[in-house]
């Protein structure tokens, strides 16, 4: 009888110990999840006086401290890189302005045909370099700006109609025909007009580089989602998963005009407006869909 009671007590103690161990394991699992979401700012604690489990918690905390340190170093390196890009872009602007000014004055002089040719090439290259510097500067400003964008109700149909009108000359120069499909009524979205203008300017620049003959632009009357698409010569070469990465280029040999940051900047600008932009390739066409906050 006494033996049975002792065995029962031992079993009960083991059962309670097992429950406590399982509870601590669940606590450790929950703490690890919370640490992942809160930037490794939490410490794991266990309520069981057991050397092995305490040692496990200790080692986990050491690893979490290491992860936190790596995270801080990564953030510091990112800020330093952003600042360096901004400084370099800013420092390049002044000599570029001087170079462009001198080239402009030189264009007013009497030059030989060969000298005029050299001047034209230099002017184009200076303009290309200015575009690249401007893109790097804009990217660094957007990445370092933590303030929320001022959003307001914007009639996306009227906005895009005016945008097409404002850029009609450029569109015609590139030999493109816009295929427009807008609702006959106003459709309002939450957006920042200045940022949105920059987004569509970048998309139009991308269209002018890669489109064949025409491009389409439409607005959903239900939620204001904007779809922009155009035929491309090599759809198999488009990597839609990385198309919004920094310096992504559909044409690896292309070097004129920009630093390849246009779509990345468009993505940043849409995110600043609490929206998003995505891309897909269908039937030889690249299609961009722009969705606004809450949509």
Q: What is the CATH number of domain 152-291?
A: 3.30.565.10
Give the pLDDT mean for 133-140: 82
For residue range 175-225, what is the model confidence (pLDDT) as tens digits?
999 999 999 999 999 999 999 999 999 999 989 988 888 999 999 999 899
C-beta atoms surrounding 120 within 10 Å: 12
Joined tokens for residue 138: 């804009």
Task: Share the mean pLDDT of the chain.
Answer: 83
For residue range 58-117, what is the model confidence (pLDDT) as tens digits?
787 888 788 788 888 887 877 777 777 777 777 887 888 888 888 888 888 888 889 889
For residue range 20-55, what is the model confidence (pLDDT) as tens digits?
777 777 777 777 777 767 666 667 666 655 677 777
Contact 152, 274 (CB under 8 A): no
How far apart, in whole angstroms, are the C-alpha atoms of residue 245 and residue 236? Answer: 18
Provide Rg for the chain, Cα atoms: 29
pTM: 0.65
Q: Indicate the SS3 state at residue 217.
A: strand
pLDDT tops 60 at residue 253: no
- Packing angle, helices 51-107 and 2-37, rounded to 10: 10
Residue with the larger pLDDT of the pair 243 and 36: 243
Contact 186, 157 (CB under 8 A): yes
């Amino acid at each position: 009888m006494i033996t049975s009671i002792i065995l029962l007590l031992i079993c009960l103690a083991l059962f309670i110990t097992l429950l406590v161990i399982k509870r601590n394991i669940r606590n450790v699992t929950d703490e690890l999840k919370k640490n992942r979401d809160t930037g490794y700012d939490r410490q794991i604690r266990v309520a069981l006086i057991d050397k092995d489990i305490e040692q496990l918690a200790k080692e986990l905390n050491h690893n979490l401290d290491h992860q936190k340190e790596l995270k801080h170093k990564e953030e510091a390196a990112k800020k330093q890189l952003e600042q360096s890009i901004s400084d370099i872009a800013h420092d390049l602007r002044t000599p570029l302005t001087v170079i462009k000014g001198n080239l402009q004055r030189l264009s007013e002089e009497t030059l030989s045909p060969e000298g005029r040719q050299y001047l034209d090439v230099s002017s184009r290259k200076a303009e290309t370099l200015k575009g690249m510097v401007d893109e790097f500067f804009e990217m660094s400003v957007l990445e370092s700006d933590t303030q929320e964008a001022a959003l307001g109700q914007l009639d996306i149909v009227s906005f895009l109609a005016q945008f097409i009108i404002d850029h009609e000359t450029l569109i015609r120069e590139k030999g493109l025909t816009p295929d427009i499909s807008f609702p006959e009524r106003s459709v309002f979205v939450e957006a920042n007009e200045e940022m949105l203008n920059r987004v569509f300017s970048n998309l139009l620049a991308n269209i002018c580089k890669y489109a064949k003959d025409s491009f389409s632009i439409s607005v959903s009357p239900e939620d204001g989602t904007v779809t922009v698409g155009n035929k491309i010569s090599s759809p198999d070469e488009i990597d839609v998963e990385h198309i919004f990465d920094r310096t992504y280029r559909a044409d690896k040999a292309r070097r004129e005009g920009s630093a390849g940051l246009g779509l990345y900047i468009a993505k940043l600008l849409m995110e600043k407006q609490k929206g998003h932009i995505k891309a897909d390739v269908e039937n030889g066409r690249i299609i961009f869909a722009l969705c606004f906050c809450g949509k």
